[in-house]
Chains A and B, each alone.
Chain A
Amino acid sequence: METILEVNNVVKQFGGFTALSGVKVNVHKGERLGLIGPNGSGKTTLINCISGAFTDYEGAIHFNGQDISKLKAHERTKRGIARSFQIPRPFSSMTVMENLLVPFAFVGGKDGPEQQAEAMEILRGMGLADKAFVQSNQLSQVELRKMELARAMAAKPKLLISDEAMAGLSGNEVDEVLEILFDLNKLGITIIMIEHIMQAVMKFSERVICLDAGKIICEGTPENIVKNPDVQRAYLGD
């Protein structure tokens, strides 16, 4: 299988605290990868290193065979890495449509009628077409989560990182977001899902990686991960 993302020995420190110590991850094209771990295990830090929110780390990150370690976040977005945020970060002074037009303008270089039609198509796929011209600060929690995914899609990503897109959602809403992520994956987009809702991760992921204290403690199929004693210890303690 072709590798789309290689994370090689990434070490990230905050002062004296080591958030990631020598993390190695390979992600394959079209894969659905789950990233789990208890709070503070380094999941979001790893995502921040991959997306370019942090660039002051040791080690290297390759995307599509090219070293992107020193690239800023917007340059990585242009290369095809998009993400959603743990706490939604809408452009609250803009409508939902305008939120999507930001990546269309800055990644694609155009935000005319053709891009607006394309944005509407993305919103339709997310079930947000009727909210297109609503101010984004008036959306519900699940709508905000969907809008973040829609905005990430407007950047036409090859790799989508979903950072706890289901946090705080009801069972039905979790299923809705899962369905959206499955649909995006069917379009050929590689997806890394960080999630605390284990049922969702296990249902969605082809492969799961578990982090604890900044290190990968195991990886494998969802079935193997849930039985792994290291994972159980990380979540439940000795």
Chain B
Amino acid sequence: MNVNEYIFFAGFVILQFVVLATAWNILGGYAGYVNFGVPAFIAVGAYTAVVLFKSISAPLVVQIIGGGILAGLLGLTVGLLTLKLRGIFFSIATVAVVFILETVVMNWRYVGGATGLQLTRPQDLWIFDTYTRMLFFVMAVLAIGSVSIARYIQDSFLGRGLRAVRDSEEAAECSGVPTLKIKLIACTISGALMGIAGAPMPMYLSYIEPTATFNLNYSISALGMPIIGGTSHWIGPVIGALLLATIQQVVTVTVSNELNVLVVGVLLVLFVVLAPDGILGLIKKWKQSSK
């Protein structure tokens, strides 16, 4: 197919943010527990993939599954340690996880330590012309899968319980909701999805290094996208991610890479102040006023 390769290169990042925003929203949006530790989960996915590739030449699918499982386990562990904390205390604890894991990776020579590791992409392209196109397809499948999971959760007992937790944890508990258990489930699923989003990254860049992998900008984007789209519905993070990540890609190409963060910051402030329910809230208001 005669399509500019950059479309697939940029599309991969946009779809990766669809997965990240959707994953963040499962705990942050549905249950109201703000996770700032997104880079830690991405990094666990990415470095698990590196270890699997380097040690047993595992194929991409195995790398993704392995990254998802380990990031899910990290979610469960972080949840067990922190989910008894509420509000800002939980958020601070998740930031600490990023710094702890970054320090570990910085000192782990097998995965390149602080200087990073160069990776050679394998030749297996399935039916695709290039490896980037294959990664784009893989990330598209992961995005569809993540959104399907988020949608299922929203309409399930779990989703109803998480919304009850967000509105009043004490009332939820007294209504029979096992609050700690469902928060742990949400934290594990959310972590696993962030891990699978991070797993193809080393192959995408053919390189991995800790400073970029543990970049806290991932937290800002993964949090900002659902807030801008709307946290109350599974489609909100998808809208936010598609919109914001596309703008970021356009800004990167046309203006500068550094302006990305500014774009997210400005939009986040505008939405928090003017439209706290995000684009979905604005659509709802518009529908109500036009009735």
Binding site for B on A (CB under 8 A): 51-53, 72-74, 77-78, 82-83, 85, 89-94, 98, 101-103, 105-107, 111, 151-152, 154-155
How many angstroms from the CA of A101 to the CA of B167 in the assembled complex? 15
In this complex, the member of B171, B173, B176 whose beta carbon has the largest number of chain A beta carbons within 10 angstroms is B176
Would B174 and A111 count as touching, CB distance under 8 A? no
Instruction: Report yes or no: B176 in contact with A98, Cβ–Cβ below 8 A.
Output: no
A105 touching B167 by the CB < 8 A rule? no
Question: With A91-B168, A93-B232, A105-B157 known to touch, is A73 a contact of B163 (CB < 8 Å)?
Answer: no
Please report the C-alpha to C-alpha distance between residue A33 and residue B18 in the assembled complex, in whole angstroms.
Answer: 55
CB A149 to nearest CB in B, in angstroms, measures: 13
Q: Closest residue of chain B to A154, judged by CB?
A: B175
The CB with the most chain A CB atoms within 10 A, among B168, B179, B232, is that of B168
> For residue A78, which residues in chain B have a CB less than 8 angstroms away from its CB?
176
Q: Find out whether the CB atom of B161 lies under 8 angstroms from the CB atom of A102.
A: yes
A92 to B167, CA, bound (A): 6
Q: Does B208 contact A (CB under 8 A)?
A: no
Q: B157-185, CB under 8 A of A: which get 1 and which 0? A: 10011011011101111111111000000
Given A106-B157, A106-B178; A91-B173 close (CB under 8 Å): no
A103 near B160 (CB under 8 angstroms)?
Answer: no
B173 engages A102 (CB within 8 Å) = no
A-B Cβ contacts below 8 A, count: 79
Distance (whole angstroms) from the CB of A8 to the closest CB of chain B: 22
Q: Give complex CA distance A36, B178 in Å.
A: 31
Residues of B within 8 A of A152 (CB): 174
Knowing A91-B163, A93-B232, A105-B161 touch, does A155 contact B175 (C-beta < 8 A)?
yes
Complex interface: chain A residues within 8 A of B174 (CB): 51-53, 73-74, 77, 82-83, 85, 152
* CB proximity of A148 to chain B, nearest CB, Å: 8
User: Can you report 18 residue pairs joining A to B where beta carbons are below 8 Å apart?
Assistant: A51-B174, A52-B174, A73-B173, A74-B173, A74-B174, A74-B175, A77-B175, A78-B176, A89-B171, A91-B164, A91-B167, A102-B175, A102-B176, A103-B176, A106-B157, A106-B176, A106-B178, A151-B171
A102 CB to nearest B CB, Å: 5
Q: Give every chain A residue within 8 A of B173 (Cβ-Cβ).
A: 52-53, 72-74, 77
Docked pose: A94 CA to B167 CA in angstroms: 9
Q: From residue B175, how far is it (CB to closest CB) to chain A in Å?
A: 4
Contact A94 B163 (CB under 8 A): yes
Contact B170 A53 (CB under 8 A): yes
Complex CA–CA separation, A154 to B171 (angstroms):
13
Chain B interface mostly: helix
Closest residue of chain B to A109 (Cβ to Cβ) is: B157
Residues of B within 8 A of A105 (CB): 157, 160-161
Chain B residues with CB under 8 A of A72: 173, 178
B11–chain A nearest beta-carbon distance, Å: 33
Q: Say yes or no: A111 contacts B176, CB within 8 Å.
A: no
Specify which of A53, A92, A106, A154 is in contact with B177 (CB 8 Å cutoff). A106
Report the separation of the CA atoms of residues A90 and B171 in the bound assembly, to the nearest whole angstrom: 8
Task: Choose one: B161, B168, B179; the contact of A90 (CB below 8 Å).
Answer: B168
Contacts of A154 in B (CB 8 A): 175
Compute how far the CA of A89 lies from the CA of B161 in the bound complex, rounded to whole angstroms: 15
Asked if A102 and B178 sit within 8 Å, CB to CB, the answer is no
Q: What's the minimum C-beta distance from B158 to chain A, rounded to whole angstroms?
A: 10
Judge whether A107 and B175 touch: CB under 8 Å: yes
Which of B157, B163, B171, B175 makes the CB contact (< 8 A) with A93? B163
B159 to chain A, nearest CB (A): 10
Could you tell me the distance between the alpha carbons of A74 and B177 in the complex, rounded to whole angstroms? Answer: 6
Are A98 and B160 neighbours in the complex by a CB distance under 8 Å?
Answer: yes
- Interface 1/0 per residue, B133-177 and A, CB below 8 Å: 000000000000000000000000100110110111011111111
Contact partners of B175 in chain A: CB under 8 A:
74, 77, 102-103, 106-107, 151, 154-155
**Max chain B C-beta neighbours (<10 A), residue from A51, A52, A73:** A73
Of chain A, the residue at the smallest CB distance from B173 is A73
- 5 A-B pairs besides A51-B174, A94-B164 with CB distance below 8 A are A85-B174, A89-B168, A98-B160, A103-B176, A152-B174
Report the minimal beta-carbon distance from A101 to chain B, rounded to whole angstroms: 7
Partner of B161, one of A82, A93, A106, A155: A106
Q: Which of B241-277 contact A (CB under 8 A)?
A: none
Residue of A nearest to B167 (CB): A91
Cα distance A101–B175 in the bound complex, in angstroms: 10
